[in-house]
Each structure stands twice: as structure tokens, then as C-alpha cells.
Structure 1
Amino acid sequence: MPDPQDRLVTPQAAAEAASKRFTRSEAVAAALSLAWLVAVAAYITFSPGEGGALGLVMTLLMVFLPIALIWIAVTTLRSVQDLRAEATRLQSAVEAMRSAYVQTQVQPSVEKKLEEIERATKSTETVLATFSSRRDVSLTQPSADRKAALASPRRGADAGDQPALALGTPAEDLRPPLSVADFIRALQFPESPEDKDGFRALRLALEDRTVAKLIRSAQDVLTLLSQEGIFMDDLKPDRARPELWRSFAQGERGRAISGLGGIRDRSSLALTAGRMREDPVFRDAAHHFLRTFDKTFSDFEKNASDAELIELADTRTARAFMLFGRVAGVFD
């Protein structure tokens, strides 16, 4: 396929072509003028003479009028060719401006994408640094709501590597259980660096081994989704009834709980499905997150009220579950 630039005529080339046409036109005009003068001279020489002023005027008109008409035609042709050359030059300028406009439209979109990825990475690094460096007492105090988030803390292998105190009591047992309010707040993640309540709840959640697994897996998938320009705050899922959430916690799957897949944003669903097909790391992180959410939510549902289930469904972690659940076919 030929390059569109090859079809463009530069102003210099147009001027050169016009100059050549001008030379040919003038040569033709000069030849016609000369031929006419020769014909008039021959006529005057071989025709009988006419006297008087009228004869002189007629002779001059006969000599110069055709020549004037010839050069008027040449001048008109020159003007037309100048206009054509100017039109060619303007066409080249318009094509150049169009090409520059297309490039300026494409480049900012690429730069915007890179900036979004950079912001998401920096945000993740900031949160991770805060988790590992903040030891403020205000960030580790439990909330006033002492209702436990999980019905039965997991033991066994999860607690096998915990340091034992006197009489074999694990250090984890000395801490109060994570409350429902702190659990829900942690799954929402901090709204900003100034969100002290969010960081306090997140700190407490990370001290619970079971909840910490869900928090870290959710953080992994949220970071991966942000690289595709998918942010949970932009998604507006349909609200599901608490009965559907309880059915899911009790093992129900398929169309019976299809109302939980409230994410309808086609762009986000398509981008997520494409990334899961092409990126095995992304796919493994998504499936690990779904399994972890399933196990932890089953424990949470036993102690949660309907209002608390609705509140949890509005967190960023729950929205990520809805998105990945629809893509993975949990609700089919």
C-alpha cells in the first residue's frame, strides 16, 4: 500500500512544474506573435496600399490586437497556474497539520496510561511502606465495636509457627478478635494517606493471620487491575440482597446467586477477561483471591447481620470479587 506522503506534492515541486508550464506557454505565445507579424508584413508588402489616417489605424489594429489577445490569454493561464500551485501548497500544509493532530491525540493517551500506572504503583508502595513502618498506638487500638468478625479463628497449620507463651498459649490468643467494623473498614482500604481510621483497621486486620491473607491477595489483584486502568471506585455494581450473600457463604454457586455479579461495566469485564487469558500471573492471583475471599467470607457471614453484609458488599475488595467472579464464571 503506498504511503500517503508519497501522494503529496511539495510547494517546491509545484513551483518548478508551474515554471516549466509558464515557459512553454510563453514560447507558444511568442511564436504566434512572430507568425502574426510575419503574416501582417507579408500582407502589407504584397497588397495594394491604402492611404489616409483610417488606413493607418486599421493597420495598427490588425497588427497589435491579435498580439494583445494572445498575451492576455498567456497572463490568464499564468494566473490559473499560480492558483493551482497555491492550492497544492495548501493541501500539503493541511495534510501535515492533520498528521500532527493525529500524533498529538495518540501521544497523550499513551502518556496518560503510563501516568495512571505510575500513580497506582506509587500508591501501593506508599501503603506498603506505611504498613511496615507505622507503629503508632492510635493505629493499633481496636474499635469500640467488639463483635468478632470471624466466627471461628483458624488454627492448625496457620498457628503452628506462632511463638508460644507460658502454658503453651499462642501470642495471637492474647489479642482481642478483629471486630466486624474493623474487618469491613480494612477491606475498603485507606481512602488517603490521612485516613487514620482506615490505617488503624488495616493494621489490626494484618495482625489476624486469616484476614491478612485476604487483605494481601486483594491488594495484589487491585494493583494488577489498576495497571489496566480499572479502579473499584469507578465501578457501580447492582446491590444484591443479603440472602444471596448468605447463600454464597453456605456453598451455593451458579445462576442461583447470579445477582451477586453486579458489575456491568463491559470495558472492565473485557479487559479483565483478556488479561486473565494472556497473563498466567494475573490469572493465578485472581483465582487465589477468589478462593481466599470465599473461605474468609464463609466465616464472616456467620456473625454478620444483613446490614453488615450490605456494607461489606460495597467495599473495594467485594467489588473486586464481583468482577473476578463474573469473569471466572462463579455466577454462571
Structure 2
Amino acid sequence: MSLVARAKSLANRDALTRVGLALTAAWLLLVLLFWLLGPTGTTEPSGLGRLVRVMGLVLPLALIWVGVSLGRSIEILRAEAADLRQQLGRPLGQDSHGRDAARAPMPAPTARPAAPPHGQAPAPAAAAPSAVAARPRPGDQRQTAMRFEPGQAQAPIDVTTLIRALNFPDGPDDHEAIDALRQALRDPDLSRVLRSAQDVVTLLAGHDVYMDMLPPNPAPAAVWRRFAEGQRGSGVAALGGIHDREALETVAQMMRQDEIFRDTAHHFLRHFDGLLARLVPELDELQIAVLADSRSSRAFMLLGRVAGSFG
């Protein structure tokens, strides 16, 4: 919760506490006046009479503080809802105070023939002319995904542009990724996938789960192809390649407790699943490796593992 939302929530809860104290004092004053000014009895009250008097004194106090407690809980929920709406309206990569969250440097991957170095396409363009030439992501840049309004539908975009859009811009100076995202958002189907991915990554960033800090264990291209063909279960378990325990526990807790996040996550998983079914059969192994390293794919692997999509 942001500092402003927390301050407003605390102020409202303090006001409710003061109201509860005032009502309690008023009730105790009334009881005291009744005891001092009421008629005096000559007979000692029975046990039942004493119980009625105690209940008459305690029950109103209990009702007052139950009401105060409910009011405080409502204020907390209201502040969290307002903060969530604010987070959904912020660009990706900003913290709860509106500042850009610094991206941690990524560990260097080990050399492997099928997967490119983290965030880059392999240098030999002759071996794979259609591969995505992703720019390096230095650790001191800020991850920023910006919102764009979809325009008129145009011709289908090429694979390179689409994968670059699925990775989102590294910042306002990443003009190639920004242009790719603008082009992809003109396609209604791709726009739904990108916006659902953006919503998920924004919500995760609000809980300090950043895709740039979750390098996955690469799955073979054959596994991605089997998943795109509809295979599920242990045969595609390698797609759950993110093993960060803290991130997995955070997402699992959000899926259990946050209905908005749960609906957003399932919406994203459904749309990204459909995109993979259409896109992966057209890609070569190198392009699949670069796609798997994008921020959208990392979010898919993280959420899919928690949701049990990969067995």
C-alpha cells in the first residue's frame, strides 16, 4: 500500500476509534447516572437479576467495538482497493511511490547452443536471419512498459516485432520496443494478449516480483511445440522453469487471497496460451528461445507453474 493510502487509512481508522471511545464514555456515563439517580431497592437482587445487569452493561459496549472493528476493516479494504486502482494506472516498473524501480543485474547464463545469452539474440545473423536482434539490457536501466491506445488494424506484424513487443520496452529510450508495441497493439487479438500481460506484470511488480529478476531455466523448443499442440501434464513440465521460492510463494498467496489478481492471471494465461498455439508452429528454435526469455513469457511460466498448467 502506498504511503498516501496508508496515511489516509490510518487517519480514518483513528477517527473510528475516537468515535468508539466517545460512545463508550457516553454509555458508561448513562450507566453511572442510572445507578446514582435510579430507585434503590430494599431486596438483594437474585443471581438472574445480577446477570441481567451485567449483560445490560457489557453488551452495548461489545456492540460499539464490534462496529468500530468492522469500520476499521472496511477502511483497510477501501484503501487497498484505491491503491490497487492506482497501481493499475501506473506504468510498469514503478514502485508504490511512483518512482521507477531499479532492475537488478541479471546473472550471466552458461553457454548453450539452443538458447541465446540473456536478453540478446546470437550474433551470427547468417545462421538465423529471422532471429530477433534484441538489444542488451544493462542493469542500470529502468524497466518501463507504457500504455498505448490501439489504432486501426494493419497488416500482420512480423515475428521479430511481436517478440520485441512481448518483452515490453526497457525504458522511454527503447524506441525499437516502443514502436514494436505500438504496431502490435493495432492488432485486436495481440492487443488483448499484451494488455493482459501488462496488467499481470504490473500487479506482480506491486508485490516486488519483477520479471527481470526471475531468469528461467530454458525449456527445449520441442517442449514449447508440444504445449502449443495442446499437450499438458508431465510432458511439458519443463515450461515451469522459474524456481524462485519467494516469488512462487508470493504468487500462490496472491492467487488464494486476491480475487482481482486471480481473475487477471487466468485471463492472461488463457490469452497467452492461445497466442502460443498460433505463434510457436511458425518459429524456429532460436526464435522460440528468445520468446521464452521475454517478460511476458516469464510471467506465463511463473503463473502457469503456480496454477498447475504444466502438470
TM-score in terms of structure 2 length = 0.54
Give the Å deviation of 1:296. 0.9
Name the counterpart of 1:203.
Answer: 182
Q: Using the alignment, how far apart are the partners of 1:120 and 1:308 within structure 2?
A: 33
Are 1:275 and 2:260 matched, yes or no?
no
The AA in structure 2 aligned to 1:231 is: Y
Provide Cα deviations, 1:184-219, integer angstroms capped at 9, x if missing partner.
000000001111001000000000111111000000
1:184-263 aligned at under 5 Å gives the runs 184-263=163-242
- The 1-side partners of 2:172 and 2:294 are apart by 18
- Of residues 155, 176, 186, the one that matches 1:176 is 155
Q: Which runs of 5+ in 2 are unaligned?
A: 1-93, 102-141
Distance 1:281 1:248, change over 3 A: same
Cα distance, 1:275 vs structure 2: 0.7
Q: Which residue of 2 aligns with 1:297?
A: 276
Q: Which amino acid aligns with 1:117?
A: S
TM-aligned CA deviation for residue 311 of structure 1: 0.6
Distance 1:126 1:317 in 2: 11
Measured after TM superposition, the shift of residue 127 of structure 1 is 1.6
CA drift of 1:305 comes to 1.1
Higher helix share: 1
CA contact (8 A) 1:244 1:259 kept: yes
Matched, 1:127 2:106: no
- Partner in structure 1 of residue 105 of structure 2: none
Give the direction of change, closer, same or farther, for the CA distance of 1:301–1:121 in structure 2 (3 Å limit). same
CA shift, 1:132, in A, is: 4.4
Q: Which residue of 2 aligns with 1:312?
A: 291
Alpha-carbon distance between aligned partners in 2 of 1:305 and 1:225, rounded to the nearest angstrom: 30
RMSD over aligned Cα atoms = 2.3
How far off is 1:118 after superposition? 2.8
CA distance in 1, matches of 2:189, 2:207: 29
Shift of 1:301: 1.2
Over 3 Å counting, the alpha-carbon distance change for 1:126 and 1:303 in structure 2 is closer
Contact 1:120–1:223 (Cα < 8 Å) also in 2: no
Task: Name the aligned partner's letter for residue 309 of structure 1.
Answer: I
Q: Cα 1:254–1:126, aligned 2, differ >3 Å: closer, same or farther?
A: closer
- Aligned residue-pair number: 178
My pick for the range that moved more, 222-231 or 302-311, is 302-311
Q: Aligned pair in 2 of structure 1 residues 228, 258: CA closer, same or farther (>3 Å)?
A: same
Query: Would the aligned equivalents of 2:149 and 2:185 in 1 still touch at CA under 8 Å?
Result: no
Q: Are 2:145 and 2:170, in contact at CA under 8 Å, matched by a contact in 1?
A: no
Q: Provide, for residues 204-252 of structure 1, a one-character-per-residue CA deviation record: whole Å limited to 9, x for no partner.
A: 0000111111000000000000011000000011000000000000001
Does residue 331 (structure 1) correspond to residue 310 (structure 2)? The answer is yes
Q: Letter of the aligned partner of 1:212 in structure 2?
A: S
CA deviation profile, 1:128-149 (whole Å, cap 9, x unmatched): 2xx249x9xxxxxxxxxxxxxx
Aligned in 2, Cα 1:120/1:276: closer, same or farther, shift over 3 Å? farther
Distance change (3 Å), C-alpha of 1:176 and 1:120: farther
Letter in 2 for 1:327: V
Query: Which aligned pairs between 1:63-74 and structure 2 lie closer than 5 A?
Result: none
Q: Could you report, residue by residue, the CA deviation over 1:110-131 in whole angstroms, capped at 9, with x for unpaired residues?
A: xxxxx83234789999822xx2
Inter-partner Cα distance in structure 1 for 2:231 and 2:298: 19
Give the alignment of 1:4-15 within 5 angstroms: none
Q: For residue 296 of structure 1, what is the amino acid of its counterpart?
A: L
On the 8 A contact 2:144/2:168 being kept in 1, the answer is: no
Identity %: 42
Within 2, Cα distance between the matches of 1:192 and 1:125? 5
Amino acid corresponding to residue 164 of structure 2 in structure 1: R
Query: Relative to structure 1, is the Cα distance of residues 292 and 121 closer, same or farther in structure 2, using a 3 angstrom cutoff?
Result: farther
Distance 1:208 1:307 in 2: 25
- The structure whose Rg is larger is 1
How far the C-alpha of 1:302 sits from its partner, in A, is 2.1
Report the TM-score when normalising by structure 1.
Answer: 0.51
Q: Distance in 2 between matches of 1:276 and 1:119?
A: 25
- How far apart are the structure 1 equivalents of 2:145 and 2:225? 35
Partner of 2:95: 116
2:59 alignment counterpart: none
Name which of structure 1's ranges 216-225 and 117-126 shifts more when overlaid on structure 2.
Answer: 117-126
